[in-house]
Amino acid sequence: MKLPRRRFLHLAAGVVALPAVTRIARAQSYPSRPVRIVVGFPPGITPDIVTRLTAQSLSERLGQQFIVDNRPGATSNIGTEIVVRALADGYTLLTVTGTNTINTTLYEHLNFDLIRDIAPVAGLIRSPNVLMVNPSVPAKTLAEFIAYAKVNPGKLNYASSGSGGAANVAGELFKAMAGVDLVHVPYRGNYFPDLLSGQVQASFSPIPQSIEFIRAGKLRALAVTGVTRSDALADTPTIAALVPGYEAYVWDGIGAPTNTPADIIDKLNKEINATLADPAMKTRFADLGAEPMLMTPVEFGKFIAAETEKWAKVIKFAGIKPE
């Protein structure tokens, strides 16, 4: 049977339009059941807190539960692998952090490739750390600290929560760019008791964990690791003001298994960015010493790639090895 040309073209146009109609329908119906967000860290620390705030907002905005699933272990590699192996349907997401970009170089034999296997969805927040010292250190400013370290090479220690962690790589980047010799002391647990007692002299610590000690005068803030001052420590200058080009943030975002439909990723990105723009949410993040990180999926992907490249250079230069 021969179809008239006009009828044939009409049918052909309908076939071409079907994928677009399918994508629109899928995006409109998503999510139709609860969504799981895997966090590779235990409850109560910043990635978990930020994810829970975001999940609550998404649940309200999209009418389905967004459930936080804490899967700590192997510095977040266990949780990441769970998401890599999940169905790419938008119902299993990952809280991506700066630790993921560090792990890409730190661990030689991961069972996944972050950039290949995780699709960027949206940024969440970024926050600088704060370089602070025990009051026994005879340095009131960053310039005095650098000068003191240079005339006392290898005599100042800085604590972190483990080799290859965000505080460690921030410290090693500072050492390289400021030209000082500090000794890294990794801890498996809480290093604050030793920092408060003066057993270790310095740290590059998250602002939320540090600010009360700073306000009480038990620790002295010298500088923050971001490129601009933190609202939480408005009187504290940046390291970059004295060491041009220095920048180190802890940050969180959302990713999904590669091949998750683009329309679902776009919908999540739109809703997450709307959440981040909400004044009440901005206030909650500011209380954590953090600022919203609104990005498109493409921008977040470029950010992840840049962070991966940056920390790879630091890890290789410093010879950092996993514990």
DSSP assignments along 264-285, one per residue: HHHHHHHHHHHHHH-HHHHHHH
For domain 128-241, the CATH architecture is 3-Layer(aba) Sandwich (3.40)
Tens digit of pLDDT per residue, the chain (323 long)?
A: 555 666 656 666 666 665 554 555 566 799 999 999 999 999 988 899 999 999 999 999 999 999 999 999 999 999 999 999 999 999 999 999 999 999 999 999 999 999 999 999 999 999 999 999 999 999 999 999 999 999 999 999 999 989 999 999 999 999 999 999 999 999 988 899 999 999 999 999 988 889 899 999 999 999 999 999 998 899 999 999 999 999 999 999 999 999 999 999 999 999 999 999 999 999 999 888 899 999 999 999 999 999 999 999 999 999 999 87
210 alpha-carbon distance from chain centroid: 18
Q: Where in the chain is the domain with CATH 3.40.190.150?
A: 34-126+251-318
- Domain 34-126+251-318 listed as CATH 3.40.190.150: yes
C-beta of residue 255 within 8 angstroms of C-beta of residue 93: yes
Q: Where in the chain is the domain with CATH 3.40.190.10?
A: 128-241
pLDDT at 17: 60
pTM of the model: 0.88
Q: Cα separation of 241 and 228, whole Å?
A: 9
Alpha helices in the chain (DSSP H): 5-29, 46-62, 77-84, 98-106, 114-117, 142-151, 166-178, 192-197, 207-215, 262-277, 279-287, 297-318
pLDDT at 5: 64
pLDDT at 28: 78
pLDDT at 23: 56
Number of neighbours of residue 319 by Cβ within 10 angstroms:
7
C-beta of residue 304 within 8 angstroms of C-beta of residue 257: no
**Token code pair at residue 96:** 């991506």
pLDDT at 83: 98
